[in-house]
Structure 1
Amino acid sequence: MLDTPKNAEKSYADGKILQSVADGVGIITFNNPDKRNAMSLEMWEGFGSALIELRDNPDVRVVILTGAGDKAFVSGADISQFEKTRHNAAASEEYSRRSEAQRALLASYPKPTIACIRGFCLGGGMQVAMMSDIRFAAENSQFGIPAAKLGIAYGYDGLKHLVSLVGPSWARLIMYTGMKIDSAEALRIGLVDRVLPGPELWDATMEIARTISGNAPLAIKAAKITIAQVLKDESRRDMDAIKQIGSACMDSEDFREGRTAFMEKRKPRFNGK
């Protein structure tokens, strides 16, 4: 287990995106509680900057995404910006280009990510949650994609992740109706992985994050790469990437440390090499 001291909290987008590190765990907080953490374009770009910094920090082995307060994870896009940034097709395309660049960072993120969800998780917040590797939710959470109620298209990437998690029939129901579903239904259909009482959510999320941060980073990277390839069409799978990371694991110092620790009946100390 890493013993990284907690870093000073950093902020982006005028304080509406917060980032900190503790015990090998990076934490990004969507901090716009007055608007139920609705995402402005500036927040998307700040989110991308925070992701890049944690990605490049060698002390960080896993990243938690969460919303400030208990009302929302992310309640979607900041609709008050739409008149300025998404008022027609051309403006919407520019908005999408700039915000999609940040979502692409998350979709291809090399480190494990966990969405810790309280309250509303809607629209763009669903995209963030679905692109995360693991989703834990509080019992009071609500999920939905209200695109049909706003007259906008949700986009290929978001729907690809939705279909992969819940299947095409539930994806149609969610998209056609714009309905909200509660955390129990979200768990039942596979949208989230675990539901906990609100007071227990953060500690349970951190426990999983610390467990991940204490495991061998190369082995986790191998699992992440291989699962991503499994989800692709067979013709597009990069089997060489799977073979390469497998070889790196077998030749690593961590593999030797894991074997030695097992024989010596102690916890291994992995360094990611």
Structure 2
Amino acid sequence: MRIAGRHGITVSSPKQLAGNFNAHLRSAVFVFADEALWPGNKEAEGTLKQLVTEPVIAFEPKGKDVIQGRNLVHLMLASNEEWVVPAGKDARRFAVFDVTEGRRGDTAFWERLNSQMENGGYAAMLHDLLSMDLGDWHPARNVPQTQALADQKLLSLDPVMKFWMEVLERGSVGLIDEAEWLAGPITLKDERDRLREEYDAFLKRNRVYSAKATSKALAAAGKSFGLEAVKLDRNMGRGWVIPPLSDARGMFEARIGADGLFG
């Protein structure tokens, strides 16, 4: 904020960041959003993603026509909440970091740091940032895969992926127990109806009214950990084949970027 000067602003509410009247963002180069967003707000989520990636966005001054303008915003969010950003399975917009508590209460450290920044530190930081050679680095390809980002992906999972995570964690499907699933791939036919019923109960238990329990949704989400819809023999029709439990769990973890998710 000190470096950006009049082109830096702090926002503290969703309206200031993602509301209709956003003319204050037109000249903003750096925006610090302090506890300003709830990632479950779908409307705010769309605006947030536009701020991160779109080169041109719409600005709406109060009482005036909407105008198009160059998006100059560089965004930083801070929060004490567990869920901070809407990070999907393939999230490429957010670099997420947990802040260490190692310096909590270390007054002498913060006094030295603040003194250094006030006596040339801001200018030195700006110099370092401007002169840093980024080479071919690109944010969409090089987002740091941190545990904090993995945690955000887990919290942002859609209902069907959360349900599959429960299934993989317990390690059983219908009459197929964990030992059988660990031993090799499993084929589901009649168990598909049982899974759909379980998913429906999961949605009701979690009061999720925006999703429907369908076999199609389950199959589509299952592809992320190797589920294949296959044609069985002539009498059995179609079914699903899922890799061995350890492989399926590994693929799920790799998709989320969270090692050791299933212990």
Q: Which TM-score applies when normalising by structure 1? A: 0.27
Q: Which TM-score applies when normalising by structure 2? A: 0.28
The structure with the largest helix share of the pair is: 1
Over alpha carbons, which structure has the higher Rg? Answer: 2
